[in-house]
Amino acid sequence: MTSLFDPLKIGDIQLANRIVMAPLTRNRSPGAVPNTLNAAYYEQRASAGLLITEATAISHQGQGYADVPGLYKAEALDGWKQVTDGVHKAGGKIVVQMWHVGRISHDTLQPNGGKPVAPSAIRAKSKTYLINADGSGSFAETSEPRALEKAELPGIIEDYRRAARAAIDAGFDGVEIHAANGYLIDQFLRSGSNARTDEYGGSIENRARLLFEVVDTITKEIGAGRTAIRISPVTPANDAFDPDPQPLFTYVVEGLAKYDLAYIHIIEGATGGSRDHQQGDTPFDYAALRAAYKAAGGKAAWMVNNGYNRELAIDAVESGKADLVAFGKLFIANPDLVERLKDKTALNAPDQGTFYGGGAKGYTDYPSLDNVA
């Protein structure tokens, strides 16, 4: 029987186990540049089968939160090399989650104070994280976006290609395309944020067009075996909404099946909330989604995420429901989560007050089993 603790090869990446550290925004990279503190944080958690970095902007325009890292300037890539070197020396594997936030941003974070961009000029009922004049951090309403011109989309696709190449050059084992949680690609997918009347709006096929153009350009640049994608069929995060998500995401995974991706990362339910959350009139059928992917010839590893504990994770892998299980908050507080899960050891509790911004406190100072007094 396959175990959560067994090795697995996903695309071109060999993993020591099936436990994944989910992407977790921590707002500790001033100037969008990863630093030595970030390197220590990831290296501490390198016993995970796979580390997925915090969401990382592909361009300045793609930034939506203060002090999150990027992939678009030389200093940031040098910083990421420190991270990937440390993880690899510790025996781990790491991919970068590539991010364009779209409308989930603020004028002060955009190039020249411009408006955030989106499929349509629909403001999100959501917030972003800013640094105040006194150095403290706080949440603020997102700014009103402007609708992207069709002529701008090839440039954004090129930003994804360039960022993917930069990531591999910086030592990452692969990339995860962030197409979830109400950010740019997800905004195009959902009718609640996409009111376009051109070939990028209206039908499911049109709304999914940008996603497939991004996947196509990245897989051609770095190979499908080092490319993955994250989707969140029913999450309400960042004002994401579609009244009929089952056919939408069935179309998406059937289209992804033609690429030999490393993995598909599924957020079940509301991100960070109820696993039973639904949009539309009927509960979302995740088993049917995977069946549709397999029926279309898809062979990528299937990663599940949201509210998993030890028992649920073990059952998901042993039953064949999933190949990989991602953990978020548990990895924040437990750098040696793999060992703790394997040995059924007590877990540290995360300090929510230190999730966003700050320094080492609540970031690199959680005790592991070998340094508990």
- State whether residue 98 is helix, strand or coil: strand
pLDDT at 372: 57
What is the end-to-end Cα distance of the chain in Å, rounded? 37
- Domain boundary assignment for the chain: 8-371
- Fill in the DSSP letter of residue 70: B
Q: What is the CA 320 to chain-centroid distance, rounded?
A: 23
Tens digit of each residue's pLDDT (9 = 90 or more) over 286-301: 999 999 999 999 999 9
pLDDT at 43: 98
Active site residues: 183
Torsional class of 223: left (φ above 0), alpha (ψ -120 to 50), beta (otherwise): left
217/227 Cα distance (integer angstroms): 11
The fold for domain 8-371 equals TIM Barrel (3.20.20)
Residue whose token pair is 């890539």:
77
Cα separation values, 193 from 64, 84, 143, 155, 165, Å: 17, 35, 15, 21, 30
pLDDT at 137: 84
Q: Which ranges of the chain have pLDDT less than 50?
A: 373
Tens digit of each residue's pLDDT (9 = 90 or more) over 252-283: 999 999 999 999 999 999 999 999 999 988 99
pLDDT at 371: 73
Cα separation values, 286 from 15, 253, 276, Å: 25, 11, 11
What phi and psi values does residue 250 have, to the nearest 5 degrees?
Answer: -65, -45
Q: Is the pTM of this model over 0.85?
A: yes
Tokens of 82: 């420190």
pLDDT at 346: 96
